Homo-oligomer: A and B are copies of this chain.
């Protein structure tokens, strides 16, 4: 944790820029210059960071914490599109094109973000074209993930959807553990349901089933110990 080293603004700034792949091609001096452009902001769990339809004036980088990007249908249902964590960023599309946000973003926990103003970002992109390539790289990864999601939602069984999201969380948030992979879930059962288009009851039931099959072990509501990763992968088809 950087806080153990130095918690002054300068260090925070620098580390913030280092966490993000889009700046990875910059030299330390250039990074320092970028750091000067950054504004910090903190949100509490449940705070709405951006609202759908709102026009954004900054690129938002997650420095610490987690957020969900989602849309609401008129009848109140929610569809989660992305979960952004430390090092992820959003709002880039609203800066590149001049367009309002197409989704809401809400903090899932206490979250520290770094903001780069539109005009600064556009200058950066011009000065360092590699940044555009990195942004493109990130857009491609999101396309890959969404294509995979569409495939799973279109052709997959409910088991496949639940297995798929658990594997995604295992890769992103999992930590080695003597008995398997320990996963700290970023979402509640209901949140998971809204991520894969199911109801909380169905998610509950399928996870209980996976536990009965010895594939995983639920530790309270927020942790899952994945015992048999291969079995989940077999569920994908």
A interface vs B, CB < 8 Å? Answer: 71, 73-75, 77-79, 81, 93, 96-97, 102-103, 129, 132-133, 135-137, 139-140, 142-144, 146-147, 149-151, 153-156, 194, 196-197, 237
Contacts and interface: CB of A to CB of B under 8 A. Distances in A.
A81 B151 CA distance: 8
Given A139-B140, A140-B93, A149 B151 contact: no
Given A132-B136, A153-B153, 16 more contacts: A71-B151, A73-B237, A79-B151, A79-B154, A79-B155, A81-B150, A93-B140, A102-B147, A129-B129, A129-B132, A135-B136, A142-B143, A143-B143, A153-B197, A154-B196, A155-B197
Nearest to A156: B73
Contact of A96 (B81, B136, B155): B136
A228 B62 CA distance: 45
Given A73-B151, A150-B79, A155-B73, A93 B135 contact: no
B151 A150 contact: no
A206 B29 CA distance: 61
Given A79-B155, A81-B151, A237-B75, A96 B140 contact: yes
A150 B146 contact: yes
A140 B77 CA distance: 25
A127 to B, nearest CB: 12
25 contacts: A71-B147, A73-B155, A78-B155, A79-B154, A79-B155, A81-B150, A81-B151, A93-B140, A97-B137, A132-B133, A135-B136, A136-B139, A139-B143, A142-B143, A143-B146, A146-B146, A146-B147, A149-B150, A150-B150, A150-B153, A153-B154, A153-B197, A154-B194, A154-B196, A155-B197
Contacts of A197: 150, 153-155
Closest 4 CB pairs of A and B: A154-B197, A146-B146, A77-B155, A74-B237
A36 B102 CA distance: 40
Contacts of A146: 143, 146-147, 150
